[in-house]
């Protein structure tokens, strides 16, 4: 397995709410800072990626958001337009507006068509080597297999025809672990961990895409060493608390309450992380991103997470 940032195409997925978009932006930011021409693409058009880089909107046409880093938002209609122009050489680009909307509806109904238009555009950028690295803020874990496996699904479903003809070269990119990898983002909580373990299994058994890494996000810092933890517990007992209340004031109990809450959440998170590591195949590394206690948002957060990734990724 090659190093994460040496690949050419990384899909970033994860259960909703775990920080998938932030992580994708941070991976792209880190690669760009290392001098790689990088494209980051948001697949679900929710606009979250635009706020990461503090631009108003992202479009299909990539926008240079910082040196070496371009950002775009996937749009299947534009992808179709580009496909028709570049590959199928159909000369009706000017008139395609309403046509594409109708097509959109067929694509909705016909299995895999939208997915392949999206994935096709991504693979095209990789094949043409317009960038050193393409980072995809991909579908959430529930839909990611349908997305990355679209070319194979189409190949099985469609006996013959132009769509099928396009799948071969896409599969050669997607199935090449030197070039392509899937990154799964999770948080150390029950449902995200369970989903991650299931997803990694499913991706490995049903698709040809290599699982490159799992990122555990928002890992709470460990407040105490084990010995200190015991001391902390004893300090929480009534007698020391009475002494502390005398010296500090009654509100000291709230301060200790916050510490206890953080410690118990941390202890649970540690168990889930252990379960994650045990359950994943040995060749899938787990990287941790600590909880960032910051009021920052946007570029600042991207850069803070990228700093954390830098220590994890050689």
Residue from 1, 171, 177, 262 touching other proteins (CB under 8 A): that is: 262
d(CA 185, CA 308): 14
- Closest distance between other proteins and the C-beta of residue 53, in Å? 15
Is residue 248 part of the contact set for other proteins (CB under 8 A)? yes
**HEC sequence for 261-290:** HHHHHHHHHHHHHHHHHHHCCCCCCEEEEE
Structure tokens at 265: 């959440």
How far is it between the farthest Cα atoms of the chain?
Answer: 84
Which positions ≥6 away from 1 have C-beta within 8 Å? 177, 210, 212, 283
Judged by beta carbon, residue 106 or residue 274, the one nearer other proteins is 106
Asked whether position 304 contacts other proteins by CB under 8 A, the answer is: no
- Calculate the CA dihedral of residues 54, 57, 62, 63 and round it to 10 degrees: -40
Of 130-138, 156-164, 175-183, 275-283, which part binds other proteins (CB under 8 A)? 156-164
- Those residues whose C-beta lies under 8 Å from the C-beta of residue 102, and which sit 6 or more positions away, are none
Among 59, 130, 234, 300, binds other proteins (CB under 8 A): 234
**Binding residue (CB under 8 A) for other proteins from 67, 254, 281, 311:** 254
Closer residue to other proteins in complex, CB, 29/263: 263
**Choice between 21 and 38, CB closer to other proteins:** 21
- SS3 assignment, position 137: strand
Pairing mode, strands 69-73 and 63-66: antiparallel
Residue closer to other proteins (CB basis): 151 or 192: 192
Shortest approach of other proteins to residue 187 CB, angstroms?
8
- Applying CB under 8 A, does 184 fall inside the site for other proteins? no
Please choose, from the candidates 7, 12, 40, 39, the residue with its C-alpha nearest in 3D space to the C-alpha of residue 180: 7
Q: Which of residues 213-232 bind other proteins (CB under 8 A)?
A: 221, 223-224, 227-228, 230-232
Is 286 a binder of other proteins (CB under 8 A)?
no
Comparison of 3 and 242: residue with beta carbon closer to other proteins = 242
Q: Is the dihedral of CA 137, 130, 116, 178 positive or negative?
A: negative
Taking CB under 8 A as the criterion, the residue among 59, 130, 260, 300 binding other proteins is 260
Q: Please count the residues of this chain forming the interface with other proteins, following the rule CB under 8 A.
A: 82
* Binding of other proteins by 201 (CB under 8 A): no
Q: Is 258 in the site for other proteins (CB under 8 A)?
A: yes
| Site residues (CB under 8 A) for other proteins, limited to 76-115 | 80, 83-84, 88, 90, 92, 95-96, 99, 102-103, 105-106, 108-113
Question: What stretches of 141-256 adopt beta strand conformation (E)?
Answer: 180-186, 211-219
């Amino acid at each position: 397995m090659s190093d994460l940032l040496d690949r050419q195409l990384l899909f970033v997925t994860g259960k909703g709410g775990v920080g998938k978009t932030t992580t994708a932006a941070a991976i792209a930011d880190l690669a760009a800072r290392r001098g790689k021409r990088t494209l980051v693409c948001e697949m679900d058009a929710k606009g979250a990626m635009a706020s990461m880089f503090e631009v108003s909107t992202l479009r299909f046409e990539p926008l240079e958001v910082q040196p070496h880093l371009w950002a775009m938002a996937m749009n299947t209609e534009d992808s179709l337009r580009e496909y028709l122009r570049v590959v199928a050489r159909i000369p009706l680009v000017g008139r395609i507006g309403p046509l594409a909307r109708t097509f959109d509806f067929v694509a909705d109904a016909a299995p895999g068509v939208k997915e392949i238009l999206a994935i096709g555009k991504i693979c095209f950028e990789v094949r043409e080597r317009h960038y050193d690295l393409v980072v995809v803020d991909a579908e959430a874990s529930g839909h990611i297999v349908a997305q990355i496996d679209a070319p194979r699904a189409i190949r099985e479903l469609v006996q013959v025809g132009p769509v099928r003809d396009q799948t071969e070269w896409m599969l050669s990119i997607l199935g090449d672990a030197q070039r392509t990898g899937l990154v799964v983002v999770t948080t150390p909580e029950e449902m995200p961990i369970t989903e991650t373990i299931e997803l990694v299994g499913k991706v490995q058994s049903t698709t040809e895409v290599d699982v490159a890494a799992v990122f555990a996000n928002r890992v709470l810092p460990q407040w105490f060493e084990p010995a200190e933890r015991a001391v902390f517990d004893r300090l929480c007992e009534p007698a020391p608390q009475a002494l502390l209340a005398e010296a500090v004031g009654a509100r000291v109990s709230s301060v200790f309450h916050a510490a206890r809450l953080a410690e118990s959440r941390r202890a649970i998170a540690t168990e889930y992380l252990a379960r994650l590591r045990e359950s994943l195949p040995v060749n899938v590394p787990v990287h941790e991103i600590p909880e960032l206690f910051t009021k920052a948002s946007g570029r600042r957060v991207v850069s803070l997470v990228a700093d954390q990734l830098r220590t994890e990724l050689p």
